[in-house]
């Protein structure tokens, strides 16, 4: 192998190859390393070679940065030519990959591209070194691919250390301070780079007292994380409290239009960049669920976001401002309010007022990460605003990493959704910056992270597939979830040396491919959402939220179920969508079955497009869902002795629990609706 070029991330590439050679044989040379290179010669590595001098012996693989040094002679003539019809710039993170005359070549114009090119080869595996491959350019579709950790430095009395974390304690913070396990943090950076993630925010969006200080007197801890993650091309962001000028700066106000407040943010941000020159920016949850915000001062979200954006702009930073804003103290009796409307009502009127380095971060659905929601109407409503779509890799509402639930098919449905109807752009197109009628800004894909200090990273070993799939879909939102799962399987489970080589792959597909829909079958039906236990959001609690202040109701009575969100007779939420969706969702006949109860209150006898009544659908899917979980568990059993014992045991333990919990869901939901409606199951199965 020859690694050619200079820079921190080229050093990382070199170190990766050194490590691979140490493990598997082979030899690596380095050329044009340049004075900036800090790479110490390691086992298996030859010292850097002067420019132009050929590597000794045949070279199988060249990873080379183009310019300022000439490409090494080991690059076969022709390998450096642009692919036919694609001679555009590779950008900061893109790369060319080809194989010519028996030499595999990766070329990039910037060091990060070389690192992504290396991980691309790892994904190709042996295929990277067989036959010739025409040159192909790879570039990320989205510029920022970001994970948000909801980690607290200190253990929080109600939420534990990681809010909605299901993988042990925080990977970043331990015992009120930084996590001393630096190897683990480096390994995390490496893992994220291999999926394509390039930005991370390292503390909870609910910013408590200790965590607020990460911005000021605890900044060294953040700088340390930035140092550990930088070699993998990952920029560090911070969640900040909007009240920081008061709680940290001692000012009497945090009013965004007050000069003292502006000066405080400018100066504080200047200090952050003096310490962390490539700092990513701030993430803010404001005026939501008790977090402070500009509303206290009679200012709006644009005033608030632009204040921080101004402080960050001169340093190249961005502010991610969350659109997850709603009244969490409402009266359930008041039928005039609809939580689904809130994000649009707050933000759509502000379109055009946000600074260019504000990214409005919108949850994919209008309510809150339910297993089934329509895509948020905010995406179509804000053409003049840079957007991020926020997904939830951590499985708050999808089984909390006790249930196997592969989420990439859900995310792909969101990314493939066409906010203005076919044939207009998809959500993925919008984020990728494909221009529409109005010039469009590109956006980000963001997700709440699912990693903690757990031995298997994610609690459930199969939940790693979600982390992997998030990174891959953020790099290329047009990828097929099943193909992404294949990549993950191949990278994660070595082919068994004895027995059927296809067994692992087939089993994992059987367990995971349909697991999100299976989860949907045994939980809340037809998009109605929020039938979870309010204490912790795990397991059933059919009426748990029905008379609460949170705004998430299903309105089941003896005659029917669902939320009337029509313009004609309901909350008017359907009017937040442009055509054709405003009409499709308005009509119970045209509304897709899986969203029917999100948009309509219908009688139990209402006949779905599938031909069955709503009540029979509820019974059928709940019995089917449990059967499917049983089948998943049996399938997994066949991998005993084939995959690592520790992994096998952990997954088996979780599938047992998934089955127990699915049965609980089935019986509570079926019994609830049987008692409400009095309609028996047409197939006479046991309901309590």
Spot the catalytic one: 396, 454, 586, 681.
396
> Taking a C-beta distance cutoff of 8 angstroms, is the pair 301, 321 a contact?
yes
When the beta carbons of 11 and 368 are compared against ligand GCW, the nearer one is: 368
Whether 373 is a known active-site residue: answer no
Residue 225, CB half-sphere, CA atoms under 13 Å: how many?
A: 24
369 is a contact residue toward ligand GCW (CB under 6 A): yes
What whole-number distance in Å separates Cα of residue 115 and Cα of residue 233?
Answer: 8
CB-based contact 66:107 (threshold 8 Å): yes
Cis preceding-peptide flag for 527 (omega within 30 of 0): no
CA distance 534 to 261: 38
Q: Treating both helix axes as pointing N-terminal to C-terminal, what angle do 481-492 and 503-512 enclose, rounded to 10 degrees? A: 130
Note whether 148 binds ligand GCW by CB under 6 A: no
DSSP string across 484-513: HHHHHHHHHSPPPSSS-TTHHHHHHHHHHT
Q: Which is nearer to ligand GCW, 403 or 622 (CB)?
A: 403
Closest CA to 385 of 421, 417, 352, 411: 352
**500 vs 56: CA distance, rounded Å:** 41
CA atoms within 13 A on the CB side of 182: 6
Can the peptide bond before residue 68 be classed as cis, meaning omega within 30 degrees of 0? Answer: yes
Question: How many residues interact with ligand GCW (rule CB under 6 A)?
Answer: 10
DSSP 555-581: ---SSEE-----TTTS--GGGGSPTTH
Residues 179 and 240: beta-carbon distance below 8 Å:
no
Which residues 254-283 are close enough to bind ligand GCW by CB under 6 A?
Answer: none
Q: Which CB atom, from 375 or from 651, has the smaller least distance to ligand GCW? A: 375
Q: If binding is defined by CB under 6 A, does position 396 make contact with ligand GCW?
A: yes
We find the least distance from the C-beta atom of residue 346 to ligand GCW, in angstroms, to be 14
Q: Is 460 in the site for ligand GCW (CB under 6 A)?
A: no
Fill in the per-residue mask, 277 to 316: x = in contact with ligand GCW (CB under 6 A), - = not in contact. Answer: --------x-------------------------------
In the bound complex, what is the minimum distance in angstroms from residue 151's beta carbon to ligand GCW? 11
Where in 155-194 is the site for ligand GCW (CB under 6 A)? 163-164
Q: How are beta strands 318-322 and 281-284 bridged, if at all?
A: parallel
* Class of residue 460 by CB neighbours under 10 A (exposed 0-12, middle 13-18, buried 19+): buried
Using the minimum distance from each CB to ligand GCW, give the nearer residue, 396 or 586.
396
Select the residue interacting with ligand GCW from 14, 264, 324, 599 (CB under 6 A).
324
In the complex with ligand GCW, the residue whose CB is nearer, 205 or 489, is 205
CB of 167 to ligand GCW, least distance (A): 16
Find the shortest distance in angstroms from Cβ 204 to ligand GCW. 6
Question: What DSSP state is assigned to residue 260?
Answer: H
The least CB distance from residue 516 to ligand GCW, in Å, is 18
Which CB sits closer to ligand GCW, 398 or 670?
398
Contact in structure between 348 and 381 (CB atoms under 8 Å): yes
Q: Which of 33, 118, 205, 407 binds ligand GCW (CB under 6 A)?
A: 205
Rounded CA-CA distance 236/222 in Å is 8
Decide: is 530 part of the binding site for ligand GCW (CB under 6 A): no
150 touches ligand GCW by CB under 6 A: yes
Q: Which of 289, 416, 424, 657 is catalytic?
A: 289
Q: With respect to ligand GCW, which residue has the nearer C-beta, 264 or 321?
A: 321
Pairwise CA distance, residues 76 & 521, whole Å: 55
* Local structure of 134: helix, strand or coil: strand
Binding ligand GCW (rule: CB under 6 A), the pick from 11, 16, 93, 368 is 368
Residue 464 CB, nearest distance to ligand GCW (Å)?
22
**CB of residue 399 vs ligand GCW: minimum separation in angstroms?**
15
Query: CA end-to-end span of the chain, whole Å?
Result: 66
Active site residue 289: yes
Kindly state the smallest distance separating residue 392's Cβ from ligand GCW, in Å: 7
Nearer to ligand GCW, 115 or 283 (CB): 283
Catalytic residue among 11, 148, 368, 373: 368
Interface positions with ligand GCW (CB under 6 A): 150, 163-164, 205-206, 285, 324, 368-369, 396
Q: Which residues are catalytic?
A: 289, 368, 396
């Amino acid at each position: 192998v020859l690694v050619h070029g200079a820079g921190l991330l080229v050093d990382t590439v070199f170190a990766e190859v050194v490590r691979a050679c140490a493990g598997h044989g082979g030899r690596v040379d380095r050329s044009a390393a340049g004075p900036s290179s800090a790479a110490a010669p390691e086992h298996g590595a030859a010292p850097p070679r002067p420019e132009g001098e050929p590597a000794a012996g045949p070279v199988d693989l060249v990873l080379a940065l183009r310019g300022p040094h000439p490409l090494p002679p080991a690059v076969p003539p022709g390998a450096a030519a642009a692919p036919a019809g694609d001679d555009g710039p590779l950008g900061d993170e893109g790369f060319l990959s080809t194989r010519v005359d028996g030499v595999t070549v990766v070329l990039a114009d910037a060091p990060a591209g070389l690192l992504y090119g290396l991980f691309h080869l790892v994904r190709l595996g042996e295929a990277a070194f067989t036959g010739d491959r025409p040159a192909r350019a790879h570039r990320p579709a989205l510029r920022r691919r970001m994970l948000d950790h909801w980690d607290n430095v200190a253990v929080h009395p109600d939420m534990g250390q990681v809010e909605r974390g299901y993988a042990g304690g925080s990977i970043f913070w331990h015992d009120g301070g930084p996590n001393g396990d630096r190897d683990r943090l480096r390994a995390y950076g490496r893992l994220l780079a291999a999926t394509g993630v390039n930005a991370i925010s390292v503390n909870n969006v609910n910013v408590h007292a200790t965590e607020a200080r990460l911005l000021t007197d605890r900044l060294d801890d953040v700088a340390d994380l930035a140092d550990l993650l930088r070699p993998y091309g990952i920029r560090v962001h911070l969640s900040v409290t909007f009240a920081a000028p008061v709680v940290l700066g001692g000012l009497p106000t945090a009013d965004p239009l007050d000069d003292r407040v502006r000066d405080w943010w400018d100066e504080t941000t200047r200090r952050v960049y003096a310490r962390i020159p490539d700092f990513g920016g701030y993430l803010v949850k404001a005026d939501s669920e008790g977090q402070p915000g500009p509303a206290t001062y009679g200012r709006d979200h644009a005033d608030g976001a632009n204040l921080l954006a101004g402080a960050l702009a001169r340093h190249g930073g961005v502010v991610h401002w969350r659109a997850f804003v709603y009244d969490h103290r409402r009266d359930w009796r008041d039928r005039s309010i609809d939580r689904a409307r809130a994000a649009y009502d707050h933000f759509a009127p502000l379109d055009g007022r946000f600074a260019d380095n504000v990214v409005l971060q919108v949850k994919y659905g209008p309510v809150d990460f339910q297993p089934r929601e329509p895509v948020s109407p905010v995406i179509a409503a804000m053409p003049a605003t840079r957007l991020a779509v926020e997904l939830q890799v951590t499985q708050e509402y999808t089984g909390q990493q006790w249930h196997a639930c592969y989420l990439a098919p859900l995310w792909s449905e969101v990314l493939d959704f066409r906010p203005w109807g076919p044939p207009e752009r998809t959500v993925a197109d919008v984020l990728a910056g494909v221009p529409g009628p109005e010039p469009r800004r590109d956006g980000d894909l963001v997700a709440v992270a699912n990693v903690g200090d757990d031995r298997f990273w994610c609690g459930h070993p199969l939940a790693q597939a979600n982390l992997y799939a998030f990174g891959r879909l953020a790099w290329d939102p047009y990828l097929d979830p099943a193909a992404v799962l294949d990549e993950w399987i191949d990278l994660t489970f070595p082919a068994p040396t004895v027995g059927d080589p296809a067994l692992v792959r087939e089993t994992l597909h059987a367990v995971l491919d349909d697991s999100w829909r299976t989860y949907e079958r045994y939980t809340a039906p037809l998009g109605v959402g929020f039938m979870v236990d309010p204490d912790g959001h795990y397991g059933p609690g059919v009426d748990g939220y029905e008379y609460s202040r949170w705004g998430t109701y299903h309105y089941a009575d003896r005659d029917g179920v669902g939320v009337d969100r029509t313009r004609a007779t309901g909350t008017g939420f359907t009017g937040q969508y442009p055509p054709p969706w405003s009409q499709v969702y308005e009509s119970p006949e045209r509304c897709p079955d899986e969203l029917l109860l999100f948009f309509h209150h219908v009688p139990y006898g209402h006949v779905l497009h599938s031909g069955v009544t709503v009540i029979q659908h509820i019974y059928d899917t709940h019995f089917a869902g449990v059967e499917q979980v049983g089948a998943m568990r049996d399938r997994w059993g066949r991998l005993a002795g084939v995959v690592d014992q520790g992994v096998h045991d952990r997954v088996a333990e979780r599938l047992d629990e998934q089955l127990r919990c699915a049965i609980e869901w089935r019986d509570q939901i079926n019994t609830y609706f049987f008692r409400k409606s009095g309609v028996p199951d047409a197939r006479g199965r046991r309901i309590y």
